[in-house]
Each structure stands twice: as structure tokens, then as C-alpha cells.
Amino acid sequence: MIKNTDWRSSIKALTILGIIILLFLSGQSLVQGADETNNLVKQVIIVKNEKGEAIDQAVFSIINDKNEIIETCRSDEMGRAEIKNTSEGLYLLKQIKTIDGYECIERKLEINNKNPTVEILIINQLKLDKSAQESDSERVQNKAEFETDAVLLDDSLDSRIKTDENLVNADQKPAEKTTEILAAALAVDDIKVKVTQVAENKTQFIVSTIGCAGKTGISQVLFPTWTARNAQDDLHWYQGIREKNGEYSITIDSKDHGFETGTYQIHTYIHGQQGEVLKVIGSKYDLAESKPVISATDVKNNCFKVSISGLSNRYGVSDVVVPTWTQINGHDDLRWEKATYVGNDTWEAVINIADYKQSYDTFISHVYVTDKNGQQKYLGATTKISDNPFIKDPLKVAAHQQENDGSKFVISTQNCSKKPGIKRVDFAVWTKRDGQDEIKWYQGEIGANGEYQTSVDIENHGFETGPFSIHTYLRDNSGEVITISGSSFTMPKLNPTIEYDKAVLNNTFKIRIRNVGSENGVTAIMMPTWSRSNGQDDLRWEPATYIGNHTWEANINLRNYNIIVDAFISHAYLVDKNGKMVFVKDSSKTILQNTATVYGFYNYPLDKNYKPNPSDPTDWFGPRWGDIHEGVDIPAPYYASCYAVGNGIVEKAGFFMGYGRYVRIRTTDRYGESVSFFYGHLQEINVGVGQSVSKGQKIGSVGGSGYNAQRTYIDNAYGPHLHFGAIANADDACVDPEIWIDFHNPYSNAN
């Protein structure tokens, strides 16, 4: 059994213990509350340079009237320094550190916990040079005090700061403001700021001053602006533009602030002529949020646009995408199209119908917006119906003979321009003879006028003329035929032409016939040819070879005929697809020069005692070492004189290819034919390009110039000799110069 006295003693002990615990917990709460109170931000300092740029790592001391440092604070990268541990009262704010080249400041400071935290803007100015400081120290002190007083964002703070001479030492006491500074302060005191919405653009508003007009002491006005969301992550410093009325303004667009709506913070910095800040004015503007509107434009040039307006919102816009697909077969052609900002709170995505499987269908477009936080949100949708325009406007096709080539005709569409959904145009073409035995498919190419066309060459149809059938197929993105059009074109009878080479080379001339065709086609061309003398006693049927570009060519070798110097008559016959021979055209060529040869018109190019070795075939024109030796080599000593073989004009004079020093002279032979003679491996050149030379005139001297193994020009690449060649200008090809000059018997040439 427990005694009553023991029970009462236990109760008393427990009560005392409970009271002790409660007192301990209360003390802990009071201490914690005191700590939290002490950690509250009581004052914020914003420190910047004269350009409005934040100053990092600036250090400030808060000093009481006993010259004791109560607290020290440091600015961050935003120029923000916080005072937390200083109690209410008047203090001296002394800056002890800033960036190099700038001055620290001192000013009065009042801490008042009853009012909301006030931001104090401190501007650090560039240091003046030492002589200027010594000569005008009082003005600098006045200016510094005025600037720091003028930039307070809360005008009511000035009334709460009481003058206390005990806050500073005698050597720290600011000088009195001069009359000039006071006048400047009064000059900017009435300046205000207004903000207005741009009527025609809902993403823009105008910030402008009121009261700057007529004030000559203002050098510039800056408008730092940012949205209230996420501190100053979108801070922009705008340079005010001075208008004709003397006020400063700037147009601010939400696109420069991530397309954010809501509250915009605007500070207006009024700068004096020395760069000092005369006044800072704080203001706000609420940019309204619009309701988004999604629409689709008409189809133009095979494209339509999805337009989205009114996207700006309080979270901003970082990206807009428009996933789009055609209705048939679900999402099998889904494409995520990116929208582009085009101004006035509007984005556009271009939808190219050619990128989708269906040309004519309902196009479905959804709109997704990604904000500045990276969150993507579905906004809405729109549709666009693309109809086949050829149902109401049937396809039209035309054809005409090609102007610069009568063997071709051009097929073109007439009403495809600006119509959507056309992926490809094919033209099936054939002649009406023997069904579709030579049908060809041509793919149309779109021209600058938006129409599709192709060129048809009768070479692809056996050189047939007459009626052609044309079927035109328009295909959509999936390859399906949109529409078909049937048409025809009659290729007119061609007008063939015959031409010859001017030069007769090695007893052979060439005859060519162009633009041959017939309704039954062409399988071959024959050229019966004979010399005019004695009738057709030497008639030969010369076959022509097709060499392309609607041209056939036959080689007429004069050695096969009875007379070489005569008029040669040629008739052209075509052989059609039925094997029938049809006369086409006739022509003739007169041969004036017997290439057997008649010498004596041209001089010999050297002294006549120098001549090629008749027993060495490598000295002469023709095959040599797997190639063609394009001239005659005449051995002669260095500096032996070389002469012009005829009257002419110098075409080339200088180093040329492997010939070393080289001269080429254009002449005219006794029959009026043009021929150029050239001299290679010369030791020296005595004429220039464009110079007229006479038969027998010295043009250079014999040498051995040419390439060495490294393809560098040297004077002794070969033994001394003259390489003499000829070029027939009709073919621009080297030919045997012995057609004109006798190298076997130099004395048979002209003296």
C-alpha cells in the first residue's frame, strides 16, 4: 500500500519538471524568433556604374554615430547588397570597395522597420584625374551627394532622413550644394513618365518622358525594363530617342522579353551632360494578355499557312510547333511544322502540300506552345480542305515547233500555274503511224510561269514528222493520276540544209546534211557523188553516218574519182522505215586545189640546205610512238634563221605547250583557203602577236626549247631543230604541212 505522503511528493516533483520543460521550450522559441527577425532584409542597396551596369563585389559598411561599424554587406552579380542586422536609426553608409577606376561614395542612411523595404540606387562614377580633384574638390563632393540623393526610388525616403552632423567626421562632412547643382535638381524635379499601349500592335507599348522638353542639361535618357516574373532575367536597357517635341521615348516589344504579359517594371534614368544621373523614376505597366486565334490561309503556290495570333502570356513563349497530317490513313504523314514569329504577336507555319501523301484531302493542324519554363501546352486546332481544282477547270495542253531547232517541238500545260497538289507531270508521245511502236514518256519540268513543259525530239521517234498524239498525266503526292488530257501536234515537213568543210585535207572533204525527216521516218542517208566532167562516169554512192544533233556526215575521198580539180555534185537520199529511198536535196563543191600537190606558192621555212631525214619516219607528219606527230622536224643548228613562208598575221608568239618558244602565222593560200603555219622549239622570237609579216621575213631562230621532265621550260629540252606544222582553220586541227610545202625537195617551193 502506497502512502499518501509519497503520492503527493511524486505529483509535486512531476509538476516542477513540467514547468522547467515549458520554460526551456519557450526560451528556444524566443531565440529562434529573434534569429528570424534579425535575418529579415531591412534595406536593399543596388549599385551600378554610370552606364547602368551592375557592379559585383562592391562592399559597404554601416557606421553608427560613435563611428562603430555595425554591419558590412557585399553586392552580388546583380549589384544587390542586403542589410539585415542593423536596427532602426540613422547611420552613415560608407562604400569601401568598388571596381577599378571608379569612386566609392558615402551618404546618410535611415533604417526604418515600420516601412516596406526600400531599394536605394547607388551610382559609382569614374574617377577624375588628380589635378581635377585638387582644383575642384568641393564641386565633386557636391555632385556626388546630389547624385546619390537624386536617385532614390522612393521619394518619401528623403523626408525620413534627418540631418545629423554627428554621423560623419569633420573631414567626411559633405560640402553644401552649389547654386548650379540646386538649379539642376529643380530642373528635373518636374519630369514624369507615361506609358501607353500601341494601338495597332498589342505586344508593344511606348514609354515616354513628360517635362524634358526645353531642358538643355540632359544628355541621354535610359529605360531599363523587365517583367515582374523571375526577377530581372529579361532585363533590357533601352536608349531613349529624343523626339521633335524634346521628349524622350522608346517602344518596347514583348518579343524582347520572351513574349511575356503582365507587369513590366520600368526605371527611367535621366543623365546630365557629364554623364551623372540627375533623376531616376520608377513606373509599372500591365501588358494585357490576348485570347489566341488559330486560322489557315488559302492555298497558294501549293502551300497554305497556319496563323496563330495572341500567344503572348504571363509565362512567355519559347517555341511554337504545328503538327499537321492529312485525314486519310490517320497520322501516316504526320509532320511537326515549326512556326515562325512574323510580328504583332503572330506566328505562322508554312504547310507545303508536296510534303504530304495526299494532295487533295482535309489537312489537320494542331498548335502546341512551349513557354519559358519548358512546358509544352496544346492550344487548339484548325483544318484546311484542299480540293482538286481540275474538276472545275479541266487541264489544257498546247504544243508548238521549237524556234531554235526545227527538229523539235515543245509541249506545255496551260492552266497548272498556282494550282495545288501537282507532284509530277508526264507526257506520253507517239506518232500516229503504226500505233504506239515508238511511244516515249517525257517528264515535264516546271517553268518560271508555273507551267510544266517538255521538248520532244523527232530523233527519239525515228525522225518521223506529221501527226503526233500527246497524252498528259498529272499526278498527286501519292503518284495517283489527278487528271488526263489528250491532244495532238502535227510536225511540219523539215527543210534540210547541206554544208561542207572549207579545207580539203589529205585529198578528202566532208559533206553534212542537217534536219532530215519524213512521215515514214529515216533509217539511213546516202550521198551519190560524181565529178561534173564527163557526166556520171565516176558516180559513187557514199554512205553518210549519223553524228548527232540531226546531222549526217559523209567523207568524199577525191582519190576515188577520175578528176581531182573539178566541181563535185552530191545528191542526198533518205531511206525510210519502209525501205523506200526518197530524194532530199542536192548540192555541189568546187575543188580548186589539187592536193597531189602544186607547190611553188609558199616559201621554204629555213635555208633550203636544211631538210628532214627522208629515211627517218619520225621526222615526218603521222603516227609516232603511239601518238600523232603533228608536223615535220627539220634538223638545223642553233640560231639558224626561220622565215615566214607567206604573207600573214602573227597569231601567237611566246611559250606554248611542249613546243617551247612558238610562233604561229595565219595565211591565205592561192585558192583563198585559210591556213596557219607554226614554228616550234625556237631559240629566239623576232615577231609579236598581231604583227603583219611578209613572205621571207625572219620570224625567229632554231633552238631546242621545250619542257624538261618536271614540265618546266628550258632551252635544251631537245636537240636543235625546227618543228614545222600546219592548222586547217575549218577544223582547228593539225594537218600535214606538205600539202602546201615540199620538204622532200625544198627547191620546188617559192624562192
pLDDT band at 31 (very low <50, low <70, confident <90, very high): very low
Among residues 362, 385, 408, the one where a domain terminates is 385
Report how far apart, in Å, the C-alpha atoms of 695 and of each of 559, 642, 649, 666, 668 are.
32, 11, 11, 12, 12
Among residues 465, 491, 517, the one where a domain terminates is 491
Mean pLDDT of 366-373: 95
Coil, strand, or helix at residue 634? Answer: strand
Q: State residue 56's pLDDT score.
A: 93
CB atoms within 10 A of CB 732: 8
Rounded Cα–Cα distance for residues 185 and 146 (Å): 8
Cβ atoms 271, 181 nearer than 8 A: no
Q: State residue 109's pLDDT score.
A: 85
Least-confidence region, from 18-22, 148-152, 650-654: 148-152
Clarify whether residues 401 and 467 are in a common domain: yes
Mean pLDDT of 418-442: 92
Q: State residue 187's pLDDT score.
A: 73
User: How many domains, the chain?
Assistant: 6
Clarify whether residues 644 and 697 are in a common domain: yes
Clarify whether residues 642 and 694 are in a common domain: yes
CB-based burial label for 472 (10 Å; 0-12, 13-18, 19+): buried
User: Who has greater pLDDT, 509 or 465?
Assistant: 465
The overall average pLDDT reported for the chain is: 84
Structural domain including 301 reads 293-385
Cβ atoms 133, 31 nearer than 8 A: no
Rounded Cα–Cα distance for residues 596 and 585 (Å): 30
Within-domain flag for 302 = yes
Among 703, 706, 698, smallest CA distance to 684 is for 703
Rounded Cα–Cα distance for residues 689 and 698 (Å): 15
Cell numbers standing for residue 117: 523595404
**Residue the block writes with cell 477547270:** 393
Cβ atoms 108, 96 nearer than 8 A: no
Clarify whether residues 644 and 563 are in a common domain: no
Here the CATH number for the domain that contains residue 308 is 2.60.40.10
Clarify whether residues 411 and 458 are in a common domain: yes
Q: How many degrees, rounded to 5, is the angle at CA 387 between CA 386 and CA 390?
A: 135
Q: How many degrees, rounded to 5, is the angle at CA 221 between CA 215 and CA 222?
A: 170
pLDDT band at 671 (very low <50, low <70, confident <90, very high): confident
Within-domain flag for 611 = no
Clarify whether residues 122 and 202 are in a common domain: no
Question: Which residues does 714 contact at the CB level (< 8 Å), separation at least 6?
Answer: 705, 706, 707, 708
pLDDT digits (tens, 9 = 90+) for 464-494: 999 999 999 999 988 899 999 999 999 999 9
CB-based burial label for 104 (10 Å; 0-12, 13-18, 19+): middle
Among residues 128, 156, 177, the one where a domain terminates is 177
pLDDT band at 446 (very low <50, low <70, confident <90, very high): very high
Clarify whether residues 274 and 330 are in a common domain: no
Clarify whether residues 741 and 691 are in a common domain: yes
